[in-house]
Amino acid sequence: MADESLVPSAPAGIVGRALDAAAIDRAFGEPLARILDPASWTTSTSLAPLYERLEQEVAEAVRLEEQIQPRVRRLVWPELRRRPGAPKGAGVYHVTRAELERVHRGLLFTGGVEACDGTRQAHETLPVTISQLGVALVSYQGDRGTWSQRLFRRDLRLTETDLAGQALDLLDARARRGAFERDSERDLLSELSQRGLMTYAERLILTTHARAPWRMGHGQPAPYELLTGSGSMDFLRAALDLLRRLIEAHRKFVFVPSSPSDLRLLTIGQALHPLEFAIVDTMEDAWNQVVTSGHHVTGAYHDLAARFVREVGPLVVAGVYRASAIAPAHIFYAHADHAPEAAMIAMADSTLQEHRGFPMLIDLADQLCRANFGADGFQAAVHSAYASAGQPLRHLAERQTRYLPT
C-alpha cells in the first residue's frame, strides 16, 4: 500500500463533490463530449471565429445581466427590509452629493479615517522557507507607520545527538509540507505563516495603533484564517480576542474586499444605481458555516468559535455599494449600529477614483506596503543571502531560474 503521506491531496473544495453532465451543459452551453472533441478546438490558422464568438458571448451575457437588474430592484429591494431575520437598517439607500462632501471634508481629508493593508512575500526552498509580512497604516494626513515581520521555517535543526532519527523526522516533516508554490490542506504551518498572521497583523494595527475615529480594512473583519485559527488553537483564541476588541469595543470600522465570495451580494450590487448602497444581511450565518465546516476547530475551541459567531456575528452586517457608473459594485462590512455611515465613507473614498470605484485609502496603504516590502527587494535580498552561502542557484525552484541569463 502506498504511503499515505506521499499521495497528493485533492484541491480544497473538491473532495466529496461531483459534476454531472447536465451541470456542465448548463454552465458552458455545450456538452462535455463536444468540449473534449479535438475537432471543436480552434487552431492558430483560424482565429477569426474565436474572436467573433468572444464578442457574441460577452454581448449576450451583458445584455441579459442588464435585463435582470430592473427585476432585482423591483422584486428584491422590498424584501431586504421585511424578510425574517433582516438586520438593523436593511434596505437600499441613496447618498446625495452634499452627504459625500460632508464625509470628504469632515472625515476623510481631515484624517478621521485610517486604512490598513498588508502584503506577504514567500521564498520557498528545501532548506528554508522565508515568509515576509508587511503592514501599512495610512490616512489622508500622511503615512501613519509600517510594520514588518520575517519568519524562517526550517525543517532541519540538527543537534549533536540522534542524527539518524532526525533524518527520518525530516522526511516525515517534508512529506506534510505543500509542494513549492502550491497550497496544501496538510500544510497548516504555511497557512498560519503566510495568510493567518498577515490578516491578524492588519486587524491588530487597526485596533491598537490607529488613532482616527474610523478604521478601514481590506477583506472582511473575520476571515477564514482567523475563524479557524489557521490550525492553531492558541492563535484562534488570540484572534477572537482581537476581533472582539475591534468589533464590540471600537465598532466604527468598514472593511472592503477585493475578491468577495458572495456573488449574491454582487448581483444585488450590480442593480444599484451610482451613489446607492444596500444593507443586506448579518455575518452570523456565513461565519457559522466556516466554524461548523472547519475541520481544524474541534472540542472546546469549536465551542469558543461558535460562541464568538453567536455573539458577534449579528453585530456585523454585509452590504454593497456602487460609487460610479463605470465601475463595479463593491461589498462592505460594518458594525450594525454604524453601517450607513460606514457605507458612505467607503463610497466617498471610492468616488475619488471613478474608474475603480474602490476606496483610495486602501490602495494607498497597498502601494506603501509594496514600496517597503515588495517582491523585488525581498527576492534580491534572499538571492544575495544564498550567494553569500555559496549556493546561488542550487536551491531555487524551476520558475525562479526560468528567465535568468545563461
| pLDDT digit string, tens, across residues 157-184 | 545 455 555 555 545 654 555 554 544 4
Distance CA 53, CA 51 (A): 5
3-state SS string for 5-27: HHCCCCCCCCCCCCCCHHHHHHH
- AA identity, residue 382: V
pLDDT beyond 90 at 124: no
The secondary structure element, H or E, covering residue 133 is strand 129-139
Distance CA 246, CA 101 (A): 27
Q: Quick one: CA dihedral 383, 129, 117, 277, positive or negative?
A: positive
What is the rounded average pLDDT of the residues 316-335? Answer: 96
Distance CA 304, CA 238 (A): 11
Name which residue leads in pLDDT, 9 or 283: 283
Mean pLDDT in the chain?
Answer: 82
pLDDT beyond 70 at 59: yes
Confidence of residue 137 (pLDDT cuts 50, 70, 90): very high
Structural domain tally of the chain?
1
- Answer whether residue 172 is part of any domain: no
Confidence of residue 394 (pLDDT cuts 50, 70, 90): low
- Answer whether residue 275 is part of any domain: yes
What is the rounded average pLDDT of the residues 48-57? Answer: 81
- Answer whether residue 58 is part of any domain: no
What is the rounded average pLDDT of the residues 213-240? Answer: 91
293: phi > 0 → left, psi -120 to 50 → alpha, else beta; which? alpha
Q: For residue range 260-283, what is the model confidence (pLDDT) as tens digits?
A: 778 889 999 999 999 999 999 999
- The pLDDT, as a whole number, for residue 39 is 79
pLDDT beyond 70 at 405: no
What is the rounded average pLDDT of the residues 177-193? Answer: 52
- The pLDDT, as a whole number, for residue 3 is 37
Distance CA 189, CA 30 (A): 42
pLDDT beyond 80 at 117: yes
- The pLDDT, as a whole number, for residue 387 is 79
Q: Which pairing describes strands 214-218 and 253-256: parallel, antiparallel, or unpaired?
A: parallel
pLDDT beyond 70 at 149: yes
- Answer whether residue 363 is part of any domain: yes
- Answer whether residue 153 is part of any domain: no
Distance CA 48, CA 44 (A): 10
pLDDT beyond 50 at 369: yes
- Answer whether residue 179 is part of any domain: no
Percent of the chain with pLDDT over 90: 44
Q: Quick one: CA dihedral 358, 360, 364, 367, positive or negative?
A: positive
- The pLDDT, as a whole number, for residue 8 is 35
- Answer whether residue 403 is part of any domain: no
- AA identity, residue 300: A
Give the domain range for residue 302.
91-121+134-147+188-376
What is the rounded average pLDDT of the residues 357-383? Answer: 88
Q: Cell for 123?
A: 521564498
What is the rounded average pLDDT of the residues 354-362? Answer: 96
What is the rounded average pLDDT of the residues 53-76? Answer: 87
- The pLDDT, as a whole number, for residue 95 is 96
> Contact 242/203 with Cβ under 8 angstroms?
yes
Read off φ and ψ for residue 188, nearest 5 degrees. -70, -30
- Answer whether residue 40 is part of any domain: no
